Chains A and B, each alone.
Chain A
């Protein structure tokens, strides 16, 4: 009986495959919930960036207010307090370009070197890098502050840029990626043809590593763009603040003896602050996808 039941007509079975997975209502629902969870804050941010402060207080959070003040809010965000927001935006860009750019460069050079060259102390280096991946940046913030303070570097852009230059995770990623995507035979062929190591690296390896490099760049850009805690304790002068700390200062302005609430500017400023990072993601998405799957299939 039992056996007979398990015999099903062949046509009743749907041909599932990787590209045509079975449909699941539960999973679809879960996915929709997740989508909502991710999108609602963004929608909220956009909707409320169109309101004046009075409208913010008097209207429902996810509905538009009586006025459409988005352009006015943006203009005021950029001009409030002598245009300090523009300065913060510039600072964030500086920290991202120099910090994240430098981190990507260093991680690429070091990861590649570790993957392709044999030298004494390599195993120890490996252990240190792996260990460093496990230490959260927050735990290092206070010691870093005291160290930089003794060197007289606090309250300078260097106090943000130098710690951002180190990305153990990026190094590790490039290392793994190099092993999989840069064949040693290719390097040997280049050497036989008389190319220097530097030339081999920049003309051959970098091209092969590009998806990995973009992945590391994305990670470090996002980390630097969102960096909050380190600049919070390192910097005291608003003229070096990145957007994260600056917006928090605007938000804190709503409290205390000299309170001056500018909630509409805090919200508009936050919206403007995420636009570049969304653009970078959309632009570099295809590289990122290929980078993520690196090494997952043995070729």
Chain B
């Protein structure tokens, strides 16, 4: 999930980050094409070697912003007393990627294990910064994870992270508002647009949802609409932000954007948190991790909110992933076997995933997702609704053929300058998407990729 609006200071940082990053991508691509050396440094080991590494022990640094990270590491150290894990919160999402990219470019200072969101994983994998975990035999864990999170951790056959959580898109709605205006909860996007109009007409201070232009939101929706704007094959990229699925989303969303049916509030801003609590947003389309956050941070919403499947285009319940992270082993690590063993424990052991669950996270492991206690939970906050049944159903309906760009962090950073214009002017999103595409093509080519040639 990325942020939409950044203060001026952040922009400078982002610009600098990109400049360092640029060097990183270039050199990496040069290396990858010049010979097979890059591949030979990947480990050839087995699960038994991981157990041996745990026995032998050592020290690890683990970068994460997951709230349960510290507690998980403590549980790990209790189980494997020879290992010391230093948990460092080096920043949330892009802040962390900037630091990670800088440390990789500088050749020192990177952690052994880092939390990386799925959308950014490919970028670090393709620049040869991460260890292929298949070399440690972790491919044997595949059937423990949901298909979509596993697919997102895999880049060109290599396993570059182990999934921590997932965020299948769902619809959260304020039941009080729908009841008050006598409107049914929409199940298709057509109904959603109609409900948006009815609600806003009945009470101009109420909007169906907010969207001020957010790449971490638009792309999952394009994914849900069946779009395949990015196709990546090695260093060859083809980019089409006007393919059938992308247009399908843009044309649908235009019907909300152009008449002003969307609240112009950036997601995650203080105004947004405020709107969630004061009944001015009727729904949010979001990831399955959101109910836990709402319950923890919007006490005013207690009893009002419910969870439903995301509206569909034609009755097909297909959904997409919004957010979610994996834990990756960084190539700079001096003890990759131990790091891989930690990652394996962190995201596949029951002890660890349970700690993660208690903190309100939404897991990616099928054992936890299908646990009767988990499915049967009926929190009061959601009026006693068995929300996990809806969320888990969504996680099974994620289409797995989506691909992000190998320079997605940059792509997201220029989304506000291009597609964001359409939002500001309430104009055709397709124009903004084309402007975005132009930027992405020229940047990709400048970075040494072959884009749309």
| A253 close to B (CB within 8 Å) | yes
Partner of A145, one of B3, B102, B273: B102
Q: Mark B1-30, 1 if CB is under 8 A from A, else 0.
A: 101000001001100100110000000000
| A233 close to B (CB within 8 Å) | yes
> Are A57 and B165 in contact, CB atoms less than 8 angstroms apart?
no
Interface segment, one of A179-187, A258-266, A279-287: A258-266
Residues of A within 8 Å of B359, CB to CB, are 258
Partner of A258, one of B66, B98, B109, B299: B66
Number of A interface residues in the complex (CB < 8 A) = 33
| B274 close to A (CB within 8 Å) | yes
| B289 close to A (CB within 8 Å) | yes
Given contacts A54-B300, A154-B106, A236-B109, contact A258 B289 (CB under 8 A): yes
| A2 close to B (CB within 8 Å) | no
Q: Mark A38-65, 1 if CB is under 8 A from B, else 0.
A: 0000000000000000101110000000
Given contacts A252-B95, A255-B92, A259-B293, contact A142 B1 (CB under 8 A): no
CB distance from A142 to the nearest CB of B (A): 6
Q: Mark A123-151, 1 if CB is under 8 A from B, else 0.
A: 00000000000000010011001100110
> Are A142 and B268 in contact, CB atoms less than 8 angstroms apart?
no
Residues of A within 8 Å of B229, CB to CB, are none
> Are A252 and B167 in contact, CB atoms less than 8 angstroms apart?
no
Given contacts A257-B324, A257-B325, contact A58 B274 (CB under 8 A): yes
CB distance from A292 to the nearest CB of B (A): 28
| A229 close to B (CB within 8 Å) | yes
Interface segment, one of B83-91, B130-138, B232-240, B435-443: B83-91
| B379 close to A (CB within 8 Å) | no
Taking CB as reference atom, which chain B residue is nearest A238? B89
Residues of B within 8 Å of A141, CB to CB, are 16
Taking CB as reference atom, which chain B residue is nearest A57? B274
Given contacts A236-B63, A254-B268, contact A142 B325 (CB under 8 A): no
Which residues of chain B from 109 to 142 have any CB-CB distance to chain A below 8 Å in the complex? 109, 111, 117
CB distance from B18 to the nearest CB of A (A): 12
Most A C-beta atoms less than 10 A away, residue of B1, B109, B274: B109
> Are A146 and B106 in contact, CB atoms less than 8 angstroms apart?
yes
Distance A138 CA – B88 CA, assembled complex (angstroms): 26
Which residues of chain A from 223 to 272 have any CB-CB distance to chain B below 8 Å in the complex? 228-229, 232-233, 236-238, 249, 252-261, 263
Which residues of chain B from 335 to 385 have any CB-CB distance to chain A below 8 Å in the complex? 359, 361
Besides A232-B13, A256-B92, A261-B273, 14 new A-B residue pairs in contact (Cβ under 8 A), listed by A number? A138-B12, A142-B16, A149-B108, A149-B109, A150-B107, A237-B88, A237-B90, A238-B89, A253-B65, A253-B92, A256-B65, A256-B323, A257-B289, A257-B324
| Residues on B facing A (Cβ under 8 Å) | 1, 3, 9, 12-13, 16, 19-20, 63, 65-67, 88-93, 95, 98-99, 102-103, 106-109, 111, 117, 165, 167, 267-270, 273-274, 277-278, 287, 289, 293, 296-297, 299-300, 323-325, 359, 361
The 4 closest A-B pairs by CB, nearest first: A149-B106, A255-B268, A57-B274, A236-B90
